[in-house]
A = this chain, B = another copy of it.
Amino acid sequence: MNPTATRPYHHGNLRQALLDATLDLAAETGLDQVSLREVARRVGVSSGAPFRHFKDRRALMTAIAEEATRQLRIRVERDQQSAQGDAMDHLKVLGRSFLEWALSHPTQFRLVSSRQLFDFESSNSLKQHFAAVRSVTLALVAQAQQAGQLPASVPGEQLGMALRASAYGLARMAVDGQLPQWGVPASAEAQTALSCLDLLVETMRIGRYPD
């Protein structure tokens, strides 16, 4: 029961501690400003220690991106299972999952969408999580096309891309604080971004504009 006897060295799990500390620091000063030395310092470990767990700075960032996209994927799949209604409603839920995730994890959202700080190509899990969300999107689009709610004349990939781009753009504008410039009060940012997304989906639906 001697705690220091079983503790490997300094940490039970230095790897995870480094990831956590990086996110903490990023929340305070921004991801670009975070240095591995500072992370190591905060965790109470020497400057060389992180390199026992990550090949380099990019590898650490890639690990954070992997975990982030994993969480997004899980959230998307969970929300889809509990979603009600037709394919168009499911698409709205999908957009909502994405936006809510981005707004509640701004650091991770920024990292993942930077595509500069980490190495997308080298990570299979990253690619798989992305592909999973994409295939949910494309399946719903195909369903909606078959139900006559989205135009069958347009390739499903393009409709999916348009939806994804819209959600992504809105998330970005919200996270970067651009919404006030479009007349949105700070108190209603999340609300407005969400209803803007609903508007975009609704607008694509064949036969809407019932006014």
Measured between C-beta atoms, what is the minimum distance from A190 to chain B in Å? 14
Rounded to whole angstroms, the CA-CA distance of A145 and B113 in the bound complex is 33
A186 within 8 A of B: no
User: How extensive is the interface on chain A, given as a class?
Assistant: 35 or more
Query: Which of chain B's residues have a CB closer than 8 A to the CB of A161?
Result: 170, 173, 179, 182, 184, 192, 196
9-residue interface stretch from A44-52, A65-73, A201-209: A201-209
Chain B residues with CB below 8 A from A182, complex form: 134, 157-158, 160-161, 164
Q: Which residues of B contact A154 (CB under 8 A)?
A: 199
Binary contact readout A144-175 vs B (1 if CB under 8 angstroms, 0 otherwise): 00000001011101111110111111101100
B117 near A32 with CB under 8 A, answer yes
In the complex, A176 has a CB within 8 A of chain B: yes
A183 near B157 with CB under 8 A, answer yes
Which residues does chain B contribute within 8 Å of A160, judged by CB atoms? 182
Chain B: which residue is nearest A154 at the CB level?
B199
In the complex, A174→B13 CA distance in Å?
A: 39
- With the chains together, A195 CA to B164 CA distance in Å? 15
Q: Tell me the smallest distance from the CB of A91 to a CB of chain B, in Å.
A: 14
Q: Tell me the bound Cα distance from A161 to B192 in angstroms.
A: 10
B165 touches A169 (CB 8 A): yes
Whose C-beta in chain B lies nearest to the C-beta of A33? Answer: B116
Q: Which of B115, B162, B173, B211 interacts with A168 by CB under 8 Å?
A: B173
Q: Report yes or no: B113 in contact with A158, Cβ–Cβ below 8 A.
A: no
Inter-chain pairs besides A32-B117, A203-B203, 5 sampled, C-beta below 8 Å: A30-B116, A154-B199, A158-B196, A164-B173, A168-B173
A sample of 24 cross-chain residue pairs with beta-carbon separation below 8 angstroms, ordered by A number, consists of: A31-B116, A32-B32, A32-B116, A110-B116, A114-B114, A154-B199, A155-B183, A157-B183, A158-B195, A158-B199, A159-B199, A160-B182, A161-B179, A161-B192, A162-B166, A164-B182, A165-B170, A165-B173, A166-B169, A169-B169, A169-B170, A169-B172, A203-B203, A206-B209
